[in-house]
Structure 1
């Protein structure tokens, strides 16, 4: 009997947690775009749900006025993530590099980051928590990597140090 409970416990605990699953009916009010305009830049980003039900992050990164980034952020109530080890993303990019960012607490001044490279096709990408490094304004901090205990924010940022248009479609974000 104890063995049966152990198996049930393992199955329940190994089930992915869906952080966000985009559909045509998705409520994206907790998603917000933050561009370099907060520092005087001129980049523009937009986030919406398209007619196919995908999250759609699009815009233009401008280096004018010391700019250079656009991001979309999802804030949510604190989630214990200690039973998970990675973020799994299903997305379609434009062949560009993006930064995946998480925060333990929204009030933290730094984020834990990892880079992904899109290929123009639908892809499923995995990012281990242990590979996410602490960063603030593009500088790596002398702190441990993401401990994977709590999460209150998930974000995607584009900032490749060049003027460029971008398009990124999101289908699902899970923790495994």
Structure 2
């Protein structure tokens, strides 16, 4: 009822002969409402290389929370979460959309395919900013994602969006201390 009333008022407010420009269509990937529809999320922190950062995922009350403490000890400095057990075809998408509530720090969206560089999985990442305590909608264009392997920037290979094996979130902003990112939903444009 509220949507119909809003839409009616919006259409009445348009000048005669004007048309409403439709918003780009979004395909919802995850709403975090039911575990049956969601992939499993796992943590990968800098402990894999001797670091001391801690972080991980929790899905409760329709929200994915990625939180922990970033440490720069032992050349560490990153924490991440990623999906496992589900493949994705993003070939018809131009961007990944997220509704997030952050802590004012910068995070990365990460995608991985079966691409390898010297036997190491290639990840494709793009940064996004958050506003402390505020829900914001984030758009990360697929064309802006840059390849890397173990944190080293690569010139290629290009992202094969039809073969996404992992979707993840990462913090590695070189600032020690606690972090917290909440995700309401993730979709494709």
TM-score by length of 1: 0.83
Q: Deviations over 1:10-51 (max 9, x none)?
A: xxxx8533221112x43566200111111111111021123x
Aligned length: 161
Deviations 1:82-105 (A, max 9, x none): 111110001111000011100123
**What secondary structure, in the 3-state scheme, does the structure 1 residue paired with 2:103 have?**
coil
Aligned positions of 1:91-102 closer than 5 A: 91-102=100-111
Pairwise CA distance, 1:148: 2.5
Deviation, 1:65, is 1.5
- The answer as to whether partners of 2:31 and 2:185 remain within 8 angstroms in 1 is yes
Aligned-CA RMSD value: 2.0
Q: TM-score, normalised by structure 2?
A: 0.77
Q: Deviations over 1:80-134 (max 9, x none)?
A: 2211111000111100001110012387611001000101210111111111010
Aligned position for 1:83: 92
* CA–CA distance in structure 1, aligned partners of residues 160 and 115 of structure 2: 15
1:50-92 deviation digits (Å, cap 9, x = unpaired): 3x32111110010112211110001243322211111000111
